[in-house]
Structure 1
Amino acid sequence: MKTTLFLKYATLGSMLLIVSACQQVQAVAEPAVLTESSPEVKLELQQQIQKAVGGPLVKLADNVYLFESQIWVESAVLRDDKGRPLDGRHMDLANLFILQIEQGQCQLKHNKSGQLFVLTKAKCMAEKQRFPEK
């Protein structure tokens, strides 16, 4: 009887340990690159960046995020009516945006605020998968 009771408790303990370990496994976002680009993907990226920093749509290169998982977006420099930069008015640092993939979902992360934007038009893959030498 003692052996049976011991086996029941040992089995219960093992099951609790396994369940606990399974709950602690979390998906980790990995730096990613786009698998392909299109005007729709570029517009989606511009709109998400605009949500994060405000202002007008930013200008992005056609090959944005195809080779690197990070881009820096500088704030616009305020200018006078003759187009000259206003002294002392440009205080914001550049914003870092990281393309990442988590559980097959392509996301854009604004590093300063930590905001995550799920991308629905963009398809991406882990940067280390496309460029294993990095």
Structure 2
Amino acid sequence: MRAIALLLSCCAVMLAACQHSRAAEPAVLSSVEPGVRQQLNDFIVSIVGGTSVTLADDVLMHSTELFIEQRMPVDSQGRPLDGRHSLPSYRFVLVKVGDSCILQHPGSGKSVRLNGARCQLAPR
């Protein structure tokens, strides 16, 4: 009898844990505050290198994905070099997990929680 009660208790705990863990769902930002913009910039720069990136005022407000093109290689006189078409873009994805907005870089498996960001599930 005790074994059945223990088994039922374990099942109840496992079910409760499953309900509390939420899957990451595609999201868009509700607004882009300066602090959130800085976090986006810092994370993206950590992946792509360089000192900063140029982000639109409405970055990630209309799309769950962000693509950052690699800088065009130039020669010593600033002229574009051949082969630009072969440079892949960096892809970032915004997801919502519970109340948190998380920016992911699927290529590296890295992600960052955007502190103070407000996001909503992306329209389907």
Identify the range of structure 1 (68-77 vs 78-87) with the bigger mean alpha-carbon deviation. 78-87
What is the total number of aligned residue pairs between the two structures?
A: 123
Q: Give, in whole Å, the separation in 1 of the partners of 2:3 and 2:83.
A: 70
Out of 114, 121, 124, the residue aligned to residue 109 of structure 2 is 114
* Secondary structure of the structure 1 residue equivalent to 2:16: helix
Describe how 1:1-134 pairs up with structure 2 within 5 A: 6=1, 8-25=2-19, 26-88=21-83, 92-127=87-122, 131=123, 134=124
Structure 1 residue 50 displacement after superposition = 0.4
Structure 2: segments with no counterpart, 5+ residues = none
Distance 1:55 1:90, change over 3 A: farther
What root-mean-square deviation, in Å, do the aligned CA atoms of Structure 1 and Structure 2 show?
A: 2.1
Percent identity (aligned): 33
Structure 1 residue 24 displacement after superposition = 4.5
Q: Give, in whole Å, the separation in 1 of the partners of 2:6 and 2:113.
A: 40
Structure 1: segments with no counterpart, 5+ residues = 1-5
* TM-score, with length taken from structure 2: 0.84
Q: Give, in whole Å, the separation in 2 of the partners of 1:19 and 1:122.
A: 32
Q: Give, in whole Å, the separation in 2 of the partners of 1:97 and 1:103.
A: 19
* TM-score, with length taken from structure 1: 0.78
Identify the range of structure 1 (44-53 vs 22-31) with the bigger mean alpha-carbon deviation. 22-31
Q: Give, in whole Å, the separation in 2 of the partners of 1:9 and 1:126.
A: 43
Structure 1 residue 108 displacement after superposition = 0.7
User: What letter is aligned with 2:63?
Assistant: E
User: What letter is aligned with 1:14?
Assistant: L
